[in-house]
Amino acid sequence: MPRHNPNIPIWDYMDYRVYLKDWYADAKANRRGFSHRAFSEEAGFSSPNFLKLVMDGDRNLTEKSIIPFMKGLRLNKQEQEFFHNLVFFTQAKNHEEKNGFYSRMLQSRKFSQLKPLEKRQFDFYTTWYHPIVRELVNSQYFDGTAEWVAQHVQPAITVAQATKSLELLALLGLIKRCDDGKWQQADNLISTGPEIKSNVLMQYHQNLLELARHQLTAVPAKERDVSSLTLGIKPEQIPLLKEKIREFRRDILKVVSEEEDTTQVVMLNVQLLPVSTEIDKSS
């Protein structure tokens, strides 16, 4: 079977339906007589519009249907493996499933070659202690060694973990080596922005919540502060509350951004979560 190699690499896509639409448009333009029916015949599907149903979101792919589907797409072995994970990443019903398939996508040798930053960012946001290591580097007492870092992260990490963390932070450009061989932050601040949309960032915040749960019992009460508010609000007040939270974060960052004589790293979480459905005022 001749291989069709469109100018739309599968590695550029995070939604397989979007990929299929671009793939179909390219195949339609470059293969004489190509159609939805022609695809079904080549893949071995009885339905002449199966490709269209999948592209439009009216039909999902399954473990059984994905095999002949990839045949119709004429994917090579690496592309097939990536496409398989991309399909179930797109169709995942919860964050855990998405994260699992996304991590497999990142293991693709071709994908990691083309987008090494994706994997590094994934490693950064899916491991709770990397941001802590980055803040410890800023301490004037940091001696430049992974051993020192491992001793000061809480809960404790190994020297090997600290070493890999320093290497990752350097690759991401978040820290850099000084002339004396020690590390320092490349920038004073790092922020993901006001809205958290990425699946990777969702995992990061889940890790932080798990860490907070651990520290709640591990840290003496006099060294921590945990409080919450349960409020009755109107749904239209949520944007205002979110803006107030953003203002609070900016104020906190201003307070600490110029401080050089730091001796400890703390974690601050601000959460706003609906805990009821909207009340029907007509009832």
Q: Which pLDDT value is given to residue 19?
A: 96
Q: What is the pLDDT averaged over residues 161-179?
A: 92
Tell me the pLDDT band of 214, cut-offs 50, 70 and 90: confident
User: Which of 47-56, 105-114, 143-152 is predicted most confidently?
Assistant: 47-56
Identify whether residues 139 and 99 lie together within a single domain: no
Q: What is the CATH number of the domain that holds 186?
A: 1.10.10
| Number of Cβ atoms within 10 Å of the Cβ of 257 | 9
Domain boundary pick from 191, 218, 245: 218
Domain boundary pick from 218, 243, 278: 218
CB 124 within 8 A of CB 112: no
Identify whether residues 157 and 94 lie together within a single domain: no
pTM: 0.65
Identify whether residues 18 and 104 lie together within a single domain: yes
Q: How many domains does the chain have?
A: 2
- Cα(4)–Cα(27) distance, integer angstroms: 8
Domain of 21, in residue numbers:
10-114
Q: Which pLDDT value is given to residue 70?
A: 95
Q: What is the pLDDT averaged over residues 223-227?
A: 79
Residue 177 has pLDDT above 80, yes or no: yes
Query: Is 232 a domain residue?
Result: no
CA distances to 6, 187, 215 from 139, rounded to whole Å, are 51, 14, 22
* Range in 103-112, 186-195, 222-231, 257-266 the model is least confident about: 186-195
For the chain, what is the radius of gyration of the CA atoms? 25
Tell me the pLDDT band of 251, cut-offs 50, 70 and 90: very high
Q: Which pLDDT value is given to residue 213?
A: 82
Question: What are the φ and ψ backbone dihedral angles of 179, each rounded to 5 degrees?
Answer: -65, -25
Domain boundary pick from 62, 79, 114: 114
Residues forming a β-bridge with 177: 183
Q: What is the pLDDT averaged over residues 196-207?
A: 69
Identify whether residues 108 and 134 lie together within a single domain: no
